Each structure stands twice: as C-alpha cells, then as structure tokens.
Amino acid sequence: MNKRLNSEKAGSFPRFGRRRSKRELETGSFKLKGLNPKVCGKNQNPVELFWKSDLNHDQILEKVVQFIEKLASGQDKSKAPEIPNFVESFLKMVESRIATYEQSEASAKLGFNEEYTSFFEAVSCLSKIVNTLDEFPFDSATTSCFNRAGSVHHRAMLLSEYQFLALLDISKRNCNVTVDSKTPKTPKQSFFNSNQETDRCVKPEYDSGTGIVFPYFPPQSVANMNQVALAMISAGYEEECFIVYSGLRLKALDFEFSNQGYENVNMEDFQSMDWESLEGEIDNWIHIVKYCTTNLFSVERKLCNSVFPEHSLIAQKLFCDLATSLTIRLLNFPNAIVLIKQYSAEKLFKFLDIYETLRDLTSSLDSELSALDLISETSETQRRVGVAAVTIFCQLENSIKSDNGRIPVASGAVHPLTRYTMNYLKYACEYKDTLERVFQQHYETEGSTRRKVQKQESKNAVEDNDRIPKTSHFSVKLMMVMDLLDAKIEMKSKFYRDPALRYIFLMNNGRYILQKIKGSTDIDEIMGPSWSGKRTSDLRQYHKNYQRETWRKVLQCLNHEGLQTNGKVSKAILKGRFKNFNTLFDEIHKTQSIWMVSDEQLKSELRVSISAVVIPAYRSFLGRFKPHFDSGKKAEKYIKYQPEDIEGLIDKLFEGNMTSMGRRRHNN
C-alpha cells in the first residue's frame, strides 16, 4: 500500500482489512455482518433484484475498464489522476450488490447463473482500481476513492471467503448418490457432491474400468470455486483462500476415511487385540490405502487442478500438502504394527500384504507428488515392515530346529512338521518377488549377516551349480530351510524301531516334499533339477531298503536250495518252509496294512514292486514243490495261499487301517 495513504482521515479503510483467523476459515465459525434473510423473498434471487434495477451497469463497467486501462498505460504518474463520477457510481453499485448478498439467505449461493460471472468481473475491476491508484500521488479525491474502493473490495473478499467455504464444506451437503451395490464401503453421501439446488440431479460419474461411483463435485460447482479462488488470489487473499481450501478438503478426506470404515488404532489397541481382530484391521487398512492410490489421490489432484487451473504450482502444493497429511496418517498404522514383537511364523503373509501395499503407495506418491521427504518416509516404513517380515520368516527355521518331539508319527505317515513347512513355503513363494526384495533390502543393511549369506551362497554354488538364482538371498534362505527339514525328518525316522517302517516314513515325507516342490514353479526353480534328482534317487533307495528289510526273509523261505537230503526233497524241510512263509506273510500283512502311504502313486509303486518280487517266486516254488505233498487236507495245512490270494493281500497293504490299532501295540 502506498505509504502516502491518508489513513487518518475519516472514512479511510485499510486496503484489505482484517483477515480471518485459520480457525475461522477452517470451521466457518465467523458470520457476515448484517445478514438479514427478510430483505428478499426466500426463492427470489437478490442478484436479479439489483441488476435489473440498473440498466446502465454494462456501460458503467465498460467505462471503468477503459479508465483503468488509461491510467495503466498513458497517465502521467507524477500527479494525482482525476477521478470520474462514474467510478463513484460503480463503487456504489458494487457496494449495494454486496450489501444485498450480505443481507440475504443467498449469501452462500451468489446466484449461480450468468450474474455470478459478472459479480467477479466487478470485483476484479475493484482490485485493479485499488492497485492502479496506489501507483499515483494522492490528493483528497484520490484518497477518498482509494479508501472507498478498498473498503468495498475488502467486503467483497469477505463474501468470497464465505462463499468459498460454503462451496467446499461437506457438512452442508445434502445430495445423495446412488451407490453400486458391488462396491464395498462406499459412502451414501460423498464429499464431492454439491449442496446447490442446480446440481442435485447431476448424474453420478462412473469409472469405466471398475464401475465404481466416485465422489465428486459437479462441474458447475468446480467452475464457481475456480472463479472465487481466482478473484481471491488476484486480490492478494491467496493465504485465506489456501487455508479455507486445505482445511475443508482435509476435513472432507477425513470424512471419507470414516465412511470407508477406517479409524485410527493406537498401540494400546494393538497390544490388546487377538490376531483375528488384528487381521481385520490390516485388511481394512489395505482397503483404504488401495482406495487412496487408485481413486482418492487422482480425484483430489484433479479437483486441485480444476479449482486452480491458472496456478499449477499452487494446485501442486495444495495437493501435496493434503496427500502428505493423509499418507502420514496411513503410515501410523504399519509403524505401530512393526513394534509388536510377538508374531508367529504364519503371520508373515499379512506383513507381506502390508509391504506390497506400501510399495504401491510409494509408487503412487512417486507419480503424483514431488514430495521427496514423504516418499522417503513411506519407503522407510516399508523397510521396517520388510525387516519384520524377514524376522518372522526366520522363525520358520527356529520352529524346525525346536521340534524335538521323540514320539514317532503313527503308521509312518507324513509328519505334521513336513506338511506345515512345505505348505508354508508354497504359500510364501506366491510372494516370491516381494520376499526377494525384502531379503535383499534386509541384507544390504546387515553387514555381518550379508557376509554369512555370501558364504552360504558360495557353498551352494559349489554343491549345486544349477540352483537359481545364485545371488538371491531368499533362495539361500529357502534352501537352508529345506536342508533343516531334511535333517529333522532323518532324525525323526530313527525313532522307529522297525527299519521297514522307518523307510516307509522317509518315503512318505520325501514324496510329499518332492510333490509340493514340483507343484510350485517358484520353489522348483529355486531348488533346481539336481536337488529334485537327488531326492528322487533317495526315494528309490528308501524303496529298495524297505523291500530288503521286509521281504528278504520271506523270499528266503521260497529259495529252492537246501531242500534236499541225500538227493531227495525233504518233506520236513519243505513243510517248514511253507509254514515259515505263511507266518512271515501273515505278520507282514497284519502289520503293514496299518501303515499309511497317503500318496496314491507311491502306494501303487510299492504294491507293484512287492508283487513283482514275491508272487513269481511263490508261484515258482509252489508249482515245483506242491506235488511232493499228498492231496487233500494235509496239503492245505501247509499250502495256505494261492498266488492270487497273495496278490489280493498285497493290494491291501499301506491302507492305514486303524481298526486294529486298539488291539495291538504299534511296532516302533
């Protein structure tokens, strides 16, 4: 303001007057002086009452514009300019119009028609009058005009502030949007809807990709906001404009968070929650973050750009501040989660979900914002969640090492530790790319651990040249888990007293592990063909060992040698051979029918291999030596089974029939 402003004179007025406090602007708690709804009818537009009564408005406005242009371009600025009478008329007209708005219910509407634009054209002229006169020396006429224009302009800005607040304030909205029933947690009343009567029937806007109804302001409301904001910024009221916008948009976004079902949860709440409840909170957090990254941020940025299209840097800054406030609130959740230390291994997957959600959030911020500090903070939170995920995954190793139970699994079935570990790894490998990233970040910041991993990688590279990828930290960790599981299963197999059952146990667990690995492309690629080949070879060896331990004595009974005495077949020895065969086979059938082989292919392979060895030997032995028995019941006393009987009984092995378990003690 010109230092020569004669502010001590009666009727003088500061250029912009008192600015509203941040609290007033955010809450709309201030009131316009002199509001009186009785001045005009409820449904009558006060703009029309005023402008229709003054038919010379356009001519006067045109003369004012010409006067301002003349002062700005060619007027001698060394002396005070002459103020034409039409300027005073113009000021009276605008002041009367403002007074009409201030005294009517329509103060929050300003007409919303073609008169809306004309009002802000007049306000723009007011601003130019004040700024232009400030460049000239002041005499009494200039001072009076300057102060009068400043006073009217100040009132116009107060009205603009109030109007801007009314346009943005979601608490005054009264427009319902029909919500797609397939869209969860979408608010019935969205903060992008206008409360203006002319906008209430606007058709909801749908996203072509998802069919979701987006919260939005109708185009006319956005255009009105733009005019108000442009007038305020041009007049030097940008701070008030920004405070109103930021405060009310933040309020609206908080309201949307609540409508989406997201509330702040503090550490005390986390500590007292059971895991099932906490999973629900994590799912809800993931929902709201995805809603922000796929919808809220882009729509809010679009709104900023639409309200402030002439000031792109301002729009960028306002959006950046809003997104920062929301993001910090969202980051409070995972930052609190990672402080809870008591997590078992199966909680890993929710942490990986959080990690991936933060990754998407970081990517969204990177594309939407130039807020490097916020991106850095989000990345740091993501790193903390990654550290927690590594710690939780490592508990899998601890659970394998600490499983020291000495009671064998009944029937030689797959051990629960094997099932748990392999299902865990298969599910974990659905997050393979994420786990690779998590372990990479962790070991990059852990020097000593990194050296241990490098040493293990080198060892693995020598032992299994086809394992890929060689430098993957997660791959190394997974292979270490598999080695631990192999060692633990080998140790537990020694608790079986029957060597044959021990090999059934090893085959069951080995086949289960191999099938799980082949069923997961990611694990199969990590372990490599050599590992699978070695395990397949181990299974064949277990199979051979089982046959040797179980059927060697049975086959010895069917040996043709040693049956002759003095060149003749000894009936006594022959009877003993048949008797021993029957006893051994009965015992094997009785025992091994209870043993469990759950893999149908393995069960079939075992039965086929047993039949291939036992039945031909028995048929040959029976065919050669049966004639040495007298026909009748005496022969049946020793020849209990026909080859077909043997085959049928072999097909009943490994069914895991537990009905007789209560009548006999398990042989282990």
**Mean per-residue pLDDT pooled into runs of 10, the chain (668 residues):** 36 38 43 36 38 55 78 72 80 81 56 63 80 79 81 84 85 46 32 32 35 60 88 88 93 87 78 86 93 89 92 91 90 90 85 94 71 84 94 92 91 96 94 94 68 52 46 88 96 95 97 95 91 94 96 92 82 90 95 95 96 95 85 77 94 77 39
Q: What is the rounded CA–CA span in Å between residue 48 and residue 53?
A: 8
Q: What's residue 307's pLDDT? A: 94
For residues 324, 329, 330, 335, the Cα torsion angle rounded to the nearest 10 degrees is: 110
The answer to whether residue 268 sits within a structural domain is yes
**DSSP 8-state secondary structure symbol assigned to residue 568:** E
- Same domain, residue pair 612 and 642: yes
Question: pLDDT tens digits, residue range 324-345?
Answer: 899 999 999 999 998 887 778 8
Q: Is 269 exposed, middle or buried (0-12, 13-18, 19+ CB in 10 A)?
A: middle
Distances (CA, A) of 108 to 28, 65, 112, 115, 440: 12, 28, 10, 14, 57
Average pLDDT, the chain: 77
Is residue 493 included in any domain, yes or no? yes
Distances (CA, A) of 490 to 494, 498, 523: 7, 15, 21
DSSP-assigned beta bridge partners for residue 562: none
Give 412's DSSP letter.
G
- Rounded-to-integer distance, Cα 637 and Cα 631, Å: 11
Q: What is the distance between the alpha carbons of residues 622 and 292, in angstroms, rounded to a whole number? A: 81
In a domain, 563, yes or no: yes
The H or E element spanning position 324 is helix 312-337
Alpha carbon distance 453, 447 (integer Å): 10
User: Crossing angle, helix 600-625 and helix 571-592, to 10 degrees?
Assistant: 170
- Render 349-378 in DSSP notation, one character per residue: HHHHHHHHHHHHHHHHHHHH---HHHHHHH
Q: Identify whether 251 is part of a domain.
A: no
Angle, alpha carbons 581-582-584 (nearest 5°): 65
CA distances from 49 to 40, 44, 46, 140 (A): 9, 8, 5, 34
Q: Which amino acid is at 465?
A: N
In a domain, 51, yes or no: no
The CA distance from 124 to 141, in Å, is: 22
* Residue 459 forms part of a structural domain: no
Same-domain status, 229 and 311: no
Q: How many domains does the chain have?
A: 3
Location of structure tokens 């406030």 = 325
pLDDT for res 482: 95
| 247 in any annotated domain | no
461 within some domain: no
CB 173 within 8 A of CB 38: no
Q: Are 250 and 322 in contact (CB under 8 A)?
A: yes
Residue 104 has what pLDDT?
Answer: 61
Same domain, 231 and 357: no
Same domain, 527 and 621: yes
Tell whether 434 and 355 lie within a shared domain: no
Which pLDDT score, from 0 to 100, does residue 561 have?
85
Looking at residue 114, its pLDDT comes to 60
Output the six-digit token pair for 524. 């199969």
Which amino acid makes up residue 184? Answer: P
Residues 598 and 649 in one domain: yes
Same domain, 371 and 443: no
Q: Containing domain of residue 306, as a range? A: 261-402
List the one residue out of 334, 348, 446 whose CA is nearest residue 392. Answer: 348
Strand pairing partners for 569? 564
- Cα Rg, the chain, nearest whole Å: 44
Are residues 372 and 497 both part of a single domain?
A: no
**Which CATH number fits the domain that encloses residue 440?**
1.20.1280.170
Q: Are 479 and 355 members of one domain?
A: no
Tell me, yes or no, whether 574 and 445 share the same domain: yes
pLDDT in tens, 37-50: 333 333 433 333 33
At 499-552, the pLDDT tens digits run 999 999 999 999 999 999 999 999 999 999 999 999 999 999 999 999 999 999
pLDDT of residue 199: 36
Whether residue 570 sits in one domain with residue 494:
yes
Torsion of Cα atoms, 196 then 197 then 201 then 204, to 10°: 10
Helices (H) then strands (E): counts for the chain: 24, 2
Q: Do 398 and 347 lie in a common domain?
A: yes
